[in-house]
Structures are given as C-alpha cells and as structure tokens.
Amino acid sequence: MKTQVLDKSQVDIAARILKNGGVVGIPTETVYGLATDALNGEAVKKIFQAKGRPMDNPLIVHIADYSDIEKYNLVREIPESAEKLAKAFWPGPLTIIMKRTDVIPPEVSAGLDTVAIRFPAHPLAQQIIKAAGTPLAAPSANLSGSPSPTTARHVLNDMDGRIDAVLDGGASEVGVESTVITLAADVPRVLRPGGVTVEELREALGEVEVDDAVIHQLKEGAVAASPGMKYKHYAPKANVLLLKGGDEAYISYVNAHAADDVCALCCDEDLLLLKVKTVSLGRRGDYLTHARHLFDCLRRIDENKTICTVYSRLPSVEGVGLAVYNRLIRAAGFEVIDLEAL
C-alpha cells in the first residue's frame, strides 16, 4: 500500500478515505492518531493490524463537538460529572469513559461495556472528524509498544506502507497522550495521566482517585482497568534506566558509567556537566516542555543506532510531570536505580 502524505489543504481527501473505510494518520494536540470510522467495525480492525495492537486494548472515540455524543447515541447516559468535565476541559487532552450503547462496535470497546470519548482541540482534527461525518477511533499512530508519534515524520517512520495516508499538521503541542478518566466507577478515577492534570480534575470534580497502575507495575494476574496500561510501552530500542536521586548524584552516576553506547536523557542545565551523549527534554522543572519533547527525544535516541543504554532521572509526579513519569517508567520496564541506596 502506498501511504499518501497530505497537507492541511487536503482534509477533503483524508475525509474521503475515512468514509470509504480507510486508515489515516491525523494530527491532534496530544500525539498523532491512527484514525478510522469508529462506527465501522471492519475499518477499525485495520488499525489493530497496522499497529500490531492486541485486540483486547480498546480505542478512544474522537468527536468534533460535545453534542456528537447524543447525535451518534454513543453512551447510555451522560453523567453530570461528564458535563462538568466537558465544560472545563473540552476541547482538549481529556478522555472520558462512560457506559456505552450498542452503536459502539466490539472492536472499539474490546469487549468492555464502556467507551472512551475525547473532543480534541486541534483544528485539523476537528475539521477531519466533521468532514468524515462520523466519530473517529484513533489510538496513537505508532507501532504497538514503541514511542508515540508527535510529528507526521514519526508516523511515516512506523506506518509507511501500512496505512492509506497521513495528514501533516505540524508537531503536537502537548506531546503526551490524553488523560483518561473513567466515570463508570463509583468515584471518578484516572486510568492514565496526560495533558490535563489530576490537580485540575480535582478542582473541577472534587474527589478523584488515581488508579494504582498509573505509577506501579500491575501484579501478575491482576486485571487492568485500562488494558493499555499492562503492556511494556513507549520504549525505544535502547534500554532505559531511571535514576532516583538529586541532580548532582545523577550527573556523577552517569559520568561514572560513561561509554560510547551510553546516552543521558537530561535537562538543559545538565548539558555541560555530562560526559556522555545527551538528549535534553528542556529546562529543569518545566514539565510541560518535557512532555512536549519526550517522545521525540526517545525516537531521536533510537535513530542513533549505537546507543544501548539511556540514563534518565525519575521524573516528578507533580502536574504534567505525572504523565512523563507514567510513560518513562513503562519505557524503562519499571526499572529504577535508587542512587541514595547505593
């Protein structure tokens, strides 16, 4: 299959492909998505094939207006808390899980009785959904397990020849996937941290729980509330090791392990102090910038094929830092070296 690269003047071509049951990589403000018609089960199957995604991992349904939830009869009822969240955070990087109707194909819900819905803020994403005339199922447009794509080039690196087209809308602003919150539990619960922070959600809703799997490894045999959280994920080919400790301890540990095949995923302030190859996430403490650069940094590390080991600090769990923590700890297969315990 030849993958067409479209620009922002070619939304109509992308929409036509989607209406005909094809797969298009689309820009969103979080990461690039791999989109198909969410109400066409046969089309949705192509996403799983293109990504190599396990069939038990459900997909997020993207809408172009809050009213689309009722228009397409996607959920059994809209809880009051969903209205509050929509008012506060939509369009934007928040996915809301509610009880689904039978309109949702089993391929999208992966056998669950719920559906995850998001109204993205990216103008091109909104235009494509509207022009396609249907909600779009769109997981991140990477091969399953690898870092998510934040540019059209990243999508092509993974998907060239596997999908019909990719629409180039520039680099994604947020850089990590949406926050996923379920309203199908007694208390609203965050299943995946992302662009909207837990602190902001608590301000809007009051009590909000954070699922254990956000920062901890699931115990053997445990059922994942969010199936995507149980897989090793976001990982570059090089081995990622997370170092827990202060800035000085981090720098001395990395310098003590300097070698040609070592790279530090670090902050701007560390660049002159480190004696190994470096890739910077941005200034210390600037978690929004770290999130925006994270996947591009991981992909750049892989482009240098000589790198075998990546040393990164264990990120903060504050604000958007929690989303970076959640991605990096999975990229590292939960391997953390405690520098204070050495």
Q: Give the nearest distance from C-beta 24 to ligand AMP in angstroms.
A: 15
**Residue among 49, 64, 53, 44 at smallest CA distance from 108:** 44
- Which CB sits closer to ligand AMP, 136 or 267? 136
Q: How far is the CB of 294 from ligand AMP (least distance, A)?
A: 14
Under DSSP, the state recorded for 140 is B
Of 136-155, binders to Mg ion (CB under 5 A) are 140
Least distance in angstroms from the C-beta of 138 to Mg ion: 10
- Alpha-carbon gap, residue 297 to 259, rounded angstroms: 19
Nearest approach, Cβ of residue 203 and ligand AMP (Å):
23
The encoded tokens of residue 182 equal: 């379920």
CB closer to ligand AMP, 142 vs 197: 142
Kindly tell me which residue out of 58, 105, 149, 175 binds ligand AMP, with binding defined by CB under 6 A.
Answer: 58
Of 280 and 326, which CB lies nearer to ligand AMP in the complex structure? Answer: 326
Q: Residue 245 burial (CB < 10 Å; 0-12/13-18/19+)?
A: middle
Q: Which of 50, 74, 167, 180 binds ligand AMP (CB under 6 A)?
A: 180
Judged by CB under 6 A, the residue of 125, 229, 291, 323 near ligand AMP is 229
Taking contact as CB under 6 A, which single stretch among the options 109-117, 240-248, 266-274, 320-328 is the one that binds ligand AMP? 109-117
d(C-alpha 117, C-alpha 225), whole Å:
16
**According to the binding rule CB under 6 A, does residue 59 interact with ligand AMP?**
yes
177 near ligand AMP, judged by CB under 6 A: yes
Looking at the Cβ atoms of 226 and 280, the one nearer to ligand AMP is: 226
Those residues with Cβ within 8 angstroms of residue 58's Cβ, 6 or more apart along the chain or in another chain: 108, 109, 110, 112, 115, 116, 227
For the segment 9-48, give every residue that binds ligand AMP (CB under 6 A): none
Report d(CA 57, CA 73) in Å as an integer: 22
> Which of 23, 43, 60, 155: binder of ligand AMP (CB under 6 A)?
60
Distances (CA, A) of 96 to 62, 117, 192, 260: 11, 5, 11, 45
Three-class DSSP category at 58: coil
Residue 268 near residue 282 (C-beta atoms within 8 A) = yes
Cis peptide before 27 (omega within 30 of 0): no
Among residues 116 and 267, whose Cβ is nearest to ligand AMP? 116
Binds ligand AMP by CB under 6 A, chosen from 17, 74, 75, 116: 116
The answer to whether residues 164 and 2 touch, using CB atoms and an 8 Å cutoff, is no
What is d(CA 150, CA 174) in angstroms, rounded to the nearest whole number?
9
115 contacts which partner out of Mg ion, ligand AMP, none, CB within 5 to 8 A by kind?
A: ligand AMP
Q: How far is the CB of 180 from ligand AMP (least distance, A)?
A: 5
Q: How far is the CB of 140 from Mg ion (least distance, A)?
A: 3
What tokens were used for 189? 């619960």
Decide: is 192 part of the binding site for ligand AMP (CB under 6 A).
yes
CB of 323 to Mg ion, least distance (A): 13
> Residue 294: is it exposed, middle or buried by C-beta count within 10 angstroms (0-12/13-18/19+)?
buried
The answer to the question of residue 115 lying near ligand AMP (CB under 6 A) is yes
Contact 281, 289 (CB under 8 A): yes
112 near ligand AMP, rule: CB under 6 A: yes
Read off the DSSP letter of residue 21: T
Interacting residues with ligand AMP between 84 and 103 (CB under 6 A): 97
Residues that bind Mg ion in the complex, under the rule CB under 5 A: 140
Residues that bind ligand AMP in the complex, under the rule CB under 6 A: 57-60, 97, 109, 112, 114-116, 139-140, 177, 180, 191-192, 226-229
